């Protein structure tokens, strides 16, 4: 019982300090010589970030979206992912970057998914920072939306189950070694680096 109370307090303080966190930052570098634009997203995802992404990406017909984020709010992340998928953009997690939680859902939307050899993508449970009486219904709705989103990206049912099965561990890691298990085709992020 005491450990449950400690865990609840820990989650509460994470959420409390999350309010003070800065929303994601976006930047764009226009491509030259027919190369796609590079849109960089760094930081935690908050409501309103989907609008910032829509504005910054409006002038890009072709882009690679480079991600470095611990995750954040689910709903703006799903909107960003849908925009990336609709535009046929590529997604990338470079060496030293992280992409967990809702960021991982964005990364999955890329037509081509770049991942540095030593990086990993982390899927974890959806956490409701402000549980109420209808928290169970809210969580069920959130998981239903995530499942529908993943299906719309063409991810097979078995892979969705693996990504969202947290019965044995709190985080499911997608790496170069287990990507086939998830039915995900990867491209090495190093191939985006200019060769010397």
pTM summary value:
0.83
The pLDDT, as a whole number, for residue 102 is 94
pLDDT value at 17 more than 60: no
- Strand residues in 43-102 grouped as ranges (E): 63-68, 90-93, 99-100
Average pLDDT over residues 139-163: 89
The pLDDT, as a whole number, for residue 176 is 86
| All domains in the chain, ordered by first residue | 2-190 (3.90.226.10)
pLDDT value at 194 more than 60: no
The pLDDT, as a whole number, for residue 161 is 85
Exposure letters 42-74 (e unless 16+ CB within 10 A, then b): ebbbbeebbebbeebbeebeebbbbbbbbbbbb
Rounded CA-CA distance 194/85 in Å is 26
Is the C-alpha dihedral spanning 39, 43, 49, 50 positive or negative? positive
The pLDDT, as a whole number, for residue 89 is 97
Average pLDDT over residues 97-118: 93
């Amino acid at each position: 019982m005491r450990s449950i109370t400690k865990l609840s307090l820990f989650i509460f303080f994470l959420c409390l300090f999350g309010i003070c966190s800065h929303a994601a930052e976006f930047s764009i570098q226009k491509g030259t010589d027919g190369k796609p634009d590079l849109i960089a997203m760094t930081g935690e995802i908050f409501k309103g970030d989907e609008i910032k992404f829509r504005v910054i990406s409006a002038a890009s017909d072709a882009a690679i979206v480079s991600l470095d984020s611990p995750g954040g709010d689910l709903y703006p992340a799903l909107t960003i992912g849908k925009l990336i998928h609709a535009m046929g953009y590529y997604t990338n997690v470079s060496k030293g970057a992280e992409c967990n939680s809702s960021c991982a859902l964005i990364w999955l939307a890329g037509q081509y998914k770049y991942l540095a050899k030593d990086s990993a993508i982390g899927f974890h449970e959806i956490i409701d920072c402000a549980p109420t009486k209808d928290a169970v219904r809210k969580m069920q709705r959130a998981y239903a939306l995530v499942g529908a989103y993943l299906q719309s990206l063409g991810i097979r049912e078995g892979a969705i189950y693996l990504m969202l099965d947290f019965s044995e561990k709190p985080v499911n890691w997608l790496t170069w070694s287990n990507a086939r298990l998830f039915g995900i085709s990867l491209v090495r992020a190093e191939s985006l680096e200019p060769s010397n």
